[in-house]
Amino acid sequence: MFIEYSLWWIIPIVIIAILGSFILYFFPKRKCFSKKKIIILSIIRFLALFLSLFLILSPTQKQKKTIIKRPLIVICQDNSSSILMSKYKNYYQTDYLESLDKLSKDLEKDYDIQRILFADEVKEISNQEIKSIKFDKTSTDISNLISKIEDKYSNLNLCGVILASDGIINKGKDPLNLVSELNVPIFTLAMGDTTVKTDVSISEIRHNRLAFLKNQFPVEIIVQAKKANGSQSIVKIIKDGKILFEQSFRIDNENFSKKFQTTLLADKVGLSKYRIEVKPIQNEQTTANNSRDIFVEVLDSRQKVLILANSPHPDISAIKQSIKENQNYEVETYLFGDLPSTIKDYDLVILHQIPSLNILQKKQIEKFIQQKTPLLFVIGSQTNLSILNSLNLGLRITTDKTTLNQTLASLNNNFTLFTLTEQAKTILSQLPPLQSPFGKYEISPSSQSLFYQKFGTIPTENPQIAFTTDNMVRNGFIIGEGFFLWRLQNFHINQSHQQTDEIIQKTVQYLASNIDRKPFRVISDQVFAENQQIILSAELYNQSYELVNEPEVKLIITNSQNIQYPFAFSRTENAYHINLGAYPAGKYRYIATTNLGSKAYKEEGEFYVSSKNLEQINLVADHNLLFNISEQTNGVMLYPNETQKLRELISKQKNIKPIAYQTITNSRFIDEFWYLFMIIFLFSAEWFLRKYWLN
């Protein structure tokens, strides 16, 4: 026990307690009680007063607590569709899941167990969900699984990993380069079939995602065949039932691979679907990998984007590189002092830290506004906020300081202008902060913020990336400098800039697109992956071109078999939103209807769900990979019918043992129930005895 103040303070506390008892019982002397009773009552009163006054010194005591942390075993089950594309399909769906469930329950008696389902994504599941595993995902990324285990469980006494898979990977990095970082044994269950069977497949297609009207674009197809020497087949490219390319070939060895190249004409604006087929051969194991669909968006011309900067900055190059990843845009970059006297027509102008103190910049911005050119402001330390506010574009930042705050990005779940992928949303929490101006933010009611600013863990409603509409012209604001750090961090995490590029590209795409002046419209991507969530948004405007969402919006989805599915949009803050979930591959049409006053509105469109099942390309299990993973981590590779052996193997591991943690905390007496109870008990006992003895 220790106290915050000097021990000498106990002396006056004792004196006060003695005086309190003495005055009550000895001055004047209580004649109604005997001498013995007075002594007993005075002692009780002294103790009660002393314990009460002692709290003034803030006494505390140290408490030691020992926590035993059991070893953590992570059970990881491959949920990809290739698991069922083998002769063991029935076993994996029944007896195997029973044995995995039993193993999980047995281990739970002595270990902490975390169960994970993985394929293209990683998902935690309960023990009850093991028996309902469907094995239906279209790609496998073991490297992502290893990274997620390291991030989430490495500090939780992780002692072992059980990895059940067929070893077929078609996304991510080589897991052998990552498993050693876990520093725990990985026990693998080798699923699938390693037998090489007769098969011909389309292994890869390389093509442009974008093409321009009346231009030729290349398509490259790689066909592979196994154990099919002497067979013949044909590769075709088909669009709208018409064969655009056809070539026969002969398979001349047991491990055959051939590249086919051609060019196609972009003859129609919009999204074009092309089907690539290779003719099945005799005794082929599966024909699921004999066809693939590709989609090419045909555009009239490239859109022109100007990046105009106040001074050199790494953000300028980062933004330019992100935009140039999309072939739809031509990007030019100028410092304001080097701006040509005659400016071309641009579909979008990005103003990096403009306007600054240069008065000529304001005049140039006003010219862009008069020409109804969409503007994207990147606001930072050089931005003159007073001039920016005077433009009346829907955002005001009032400040009397030049301070910059470090602000993290927080997603606005009610944002409806466009949709980010789940990967882009997920990476937000790992991005470094931007340097944003300190001040009071005011934004027009009709605006929408994609991201809010967050200070550490404290969310705010200050926008970080926001969009406004002024006189039917779209404008955007990136409030903060440091986007180049986002891009670097994205590459550090995923070895690509895909997610941060997506944020910039969709921002540019929204701003550079002509405003649809229809009072009712539906916003949707044109192509979705087979396992991707299909999200649609809708906007309804009144006669003053203000967003409203009081009326109900109904939606009917029709598939290629003309089967209709009715839905209703959910309302967001000022628009509409719906998540339809994942759909099977195919072409879908939609009709959205609503009423505003006496007017009825209808919007029609279509989208494709692309079948891109990477699991169908290669069906030969890679047990060599699983063996090397176990060998490299001092684990063991077993087969699914040996699942129960894992219990014994894990128990023999010397490094798999509990860890004892000891915590020491300082507890104040005033917070202790027993101490307060003692004071109350003494006062109560004194009161009771006085009443009892008086009678």
Backbone dihedral angles phi then psi of residue 355, each to the nearest 5 degrees:
-85, 145
Residues 6 or more apart in contact with residue 150 via CB below 8 angstroms = 178, 181, 182
Question: Cis omega (within 30 of 0) on the bond before 355?
Answer: yes
Specify which residues 219 forms β-bridges with: 207, 262
Q: Which two tokens stand for residue 179?
A: 């498993």
What one-character-per-residue DSSP string does 161-211 give? Answer: EEEEE-----SSS-GGGTGGGG-S-EEEEE-S------EEEEEEEEE-SEE
Determine contact, residues 489/430, Cβ cutoff 8 Å: yes
Closest CA to 633 of 194, 158, 119, 71: 158
Backbone dihedral angles phi then psi of residue 352, each to the nearest 5 degrees:
-90, 110
What one-character-per-residue DSSP string does 122-151 give? Answer: EEEE-GGGGGG----BS---HHHHHHHHHH
* CA atoms of 531 and 611, how far apart (whole Å): 9
pLDDT at position 53 is 85
Secondary structure (3-state) at 95? helix
Strands 576-579 and 535-541 come out as antiparallel
- Alpha-carbon radius of gyration of the chain: 35
pLDDT at position 118 is 94
Q: Which two tokens stand for residue 183?
A: 């520093």
Determine contact, residues 557/580, Cβ cutoff 8 Å: yes
Angstrom CA distances, 164 to 43, 178, 190, 363, 564, stand at 73, 17, 6, 65, 40
pLDDT at position 399 is 85
Backbone dihedral angles phi then psi of residue 106, each to the nearest 5 degrees:
-65, -45
pLDDT at position 613 is 66
Angstrom CA distances, 53 to 79, 215, 295, stand at 66, 91, 81
Determine contact, residues 70/112, Cβ cutoff 8 Å: yes
pLDDT at position 29 is 66
CA–chain centroid gap for 135, Å, is 23
Overall pTM > 0.75: no
Closest CA to 180 of 161, 206, 155, 198: 161
Angstrom CA distances, 573 to 34, 155, 507, 522, 597, stand at 79, 40, 20, 16, 20
Which residues in the chain show pLDDT less than 70?
A: 1-2, 28-31, 514-517, 544, 612-613, 660-662, 695
The DSSP H or E segment spanning 218 is: strand 216-226
* CA atoms of 360 and 377, how far apart (whole Å): 16
Closest CA to 671 of 59, 65, 64, 66: 59
Residue type, 375: L
* CA atoms of 362 and 453, how far apart (whole Å): 27
What one-character-per-residue DSSP string does 641-672 give? Answer: GGTTHHHHHHHT-TT---EEEEEEEEEEGGG-
